[in-house]
Amino acid sequence: MKKKTAVPNAQKAGSDTASDVAKTNSRVIHETDVLLIGGGIMSATLGTWLQELEPNWSITMVEQMESVAEESSNGWNNAGTGHSALMELNYTPQKADGSVSIEKAIDINEAFQVSRQFWAHQVKRGVLTQPKSFINTVPHMSFVWGDANVNFLRARYRALQQNPLFRGMRYSEDHQQIKEWAPLVMEGRDPQQKIAATRTEAGTDVNYGEITRQLISSLQAHKNFSLQLNTVVRRFRQNADKSWTITVSDANNSHAKRTIKAKFIFIGAGGAALKLLQQTKIPQAKEYAGFPVGGQFLVCENPEVVNHHLAKVYGQADVGAPPMSVPHIDTRVIDGKRVILFGPFATFSTRFLKNGSLWDLLASINKSNIMPMINVGMDNFDLVKYLVSQVLQKDKDRHAALREYYPMAQKGDWRLWQAGQRVQIIKRDAQKGGVLRLGTEVVSDDEGTVAALLGASPGASTAAPIMLQLLEKVFHEKMQTAAWQAKIKAVVPTYGSRLNEHPQAIEETLAHTSEVLELSYVPVRDADPTPQPQTKSQPVVVNEMADIAL
């Protein structure tokens, strides 16, 4: 991509509402080097990267809500997990021969270490302040019961212990030990039940909404950054010089339209990204469709319960369950308040955003993606069956699910909360017609003038490395320059290398980021012994499709 130069008449920094700009001229043209669509963690992270790499570029962010971080990045709309594969069983599927694959777990853990380095760098710069306002140490645990699941967890633990990224993990099948780790899951539990758990003390809980707000607040301090709230994107048109003209309007007045001219567009609008990408009419958009899935959590704020549990405890997902389905009973710290969440329970809506339109799903269907969607529906009957069962659940069913993890749970201590919407990627496939794609995917045109992030998981946890991938894809030539390489390595010292191949680098990185982010960290200890499987059993079917979007 050609070198970008700052636009001399770029709008001054600030938080301009759409109506303020429209009052001046209903067709005013605002010029910018980079347009970020969506005021969430992805746009905030990309804007922060670009501000460090090219401080003279002008950046404009538009958000349709009245403030940033109100959708997927909001602390109440996601599980706030620092996803590093320490406890998420779906990242370590068991093979037919009983062995456990850990490749995906390694990749996710590596990615989270990049995010930790990125956040630590921003703390040192003063961009992020008071680390405990957005990240806290909360141990990560896996917890299972039954012979087959216990045998799987044993195999998983042994496999992970072969990699230095997971050396701090503990393992136990002892009721008393597990009670010390997570009292709630053991109170009232059958003492004869076969159980097992792993625990990593260095796990984290993250408030991605707070990170987003702080990053954007810092961007606003620069004169070449503009934040436009209450702004809805209406139309895209690519110009002869490959730049884009984007028509936007006031969220409360669709007639108050104006245009923005941008050299590069990033669509980081969560579930709405697919629809916006389709509106650009780039050929790559035809490859994709989306299937929305929502989630609900049970929330407990009773101090007597909340203060008795400090862990994120993840279990096994039901076979056929969709993203967000992995049951977990979590300690959360949201805007300074400690609570416990249990869930999620899948919901279905045709909205692509929590605050979206009921027409979102229908509007995203076209002649290019309707057959892939039909093929995926036919190939994933278990998913449809699971969603139907979840939608039909009553309060007593949700409470029964909670008591599997917290046997003594009192219904009066918990309330139901509607979390965010996620849109699962469906991609056209030559052999199958269409397939569900796990994780996140960066989609861009051939010239690198527009890019979008589709998918949801592990999402916010890996925003920093995902945005590096985007930079490598659309600013490939820039990424090869010594100047950019030096700046990136100043932010992420391990950039370009694999931590799992360098045990000493893992220790140094974790120690450094823990100190800066005010997290607890104890150097690697000797591994706990694990018993061999006592009985032969079929491999556990780990739900790889449950990609923990929430």
Retrieve residue 478's tokens: 């820039």
* pLDDT (mean) for 324-335: 87
Using pLDDT thresholds of 50, 70 and 90, give the confidence band for residue 293: confident
Using pLDDT thresholds of 50, 70 and 90, give the confidence band for residue 319: low
- Is the predicted pLDDT of residue 105 greater than 60, yes or no? yes
More confident residue, 525 or 245: 245
Distance (Å, whole) CA 372 – CA 289:
8
Q: What distances in angstroms separate CA 53 from CA 56, 171, 355, 443, 475, one per listed residue?
A: 9, 43, 34, 22, 11
Distance (Å, whole) CA 500 – CA 516:
22
- Is the predicted pLDDT of residue 218 greater than 90, yes or no? yes
Q: Which of helix, strand or coil describes residue 157?
A: helix
Retrieve residue 271's tokens: 């579930």
Using pLDDT thresholds of 50, 70 and 90, give the confidence band for residue 420: confident
More confident residue, 228 or 22: 228
Residue reference for tokens 């980081």 = 268
pLDDT, one tens digit per residue, over 347-401 is 888 998 988 999 999 999 999 999 988 888 888 777 777 777 888 889 999 999 9
What number of other Cβ atoms are within 10 A of residue 378's Cβ? 12
Q: Which residues contact 9 (CB under 8 A, 6 or more apart)?
A: 31
The confidence score (pLDDT) of residue 522 equals: 85
* pLDDT (mean) for 197-209: 96
More confident residue, 535 or 230: 230
What is the average pLDDT value for the chain, to the nearest integer? 89
Segment among 94-98, 380-384, 545-549 with least mean pLDDT = 545-549
For residues 478 and 43, the answer to whether their CB atoms sit within 8 Å is: no
509: nearest Cα among 214, 114, 219: 114
CB half-sphere exposure, 105, CA atoms < 13 A: 23
Rg of the chain, C-alpha, whole Å: 23
Percentage of the chain beyond pLDDT 70 is: 90
The confidence score (pLDDT) of residue 456 equals: 75
Which residues make beta-bridge pairs with 442? 453
- Is the predicted pLDDT of residue 443 greater than 70, yes or no? yes
- Is the predicted pLDDT of residue 303 greater than 90, yes or no? yes
Segment among 115-124, 264-273, 374-383, 408-417 with least mean pLDDT = 374-383
For 449-549, where are the E strands, in sequence order? 450-455
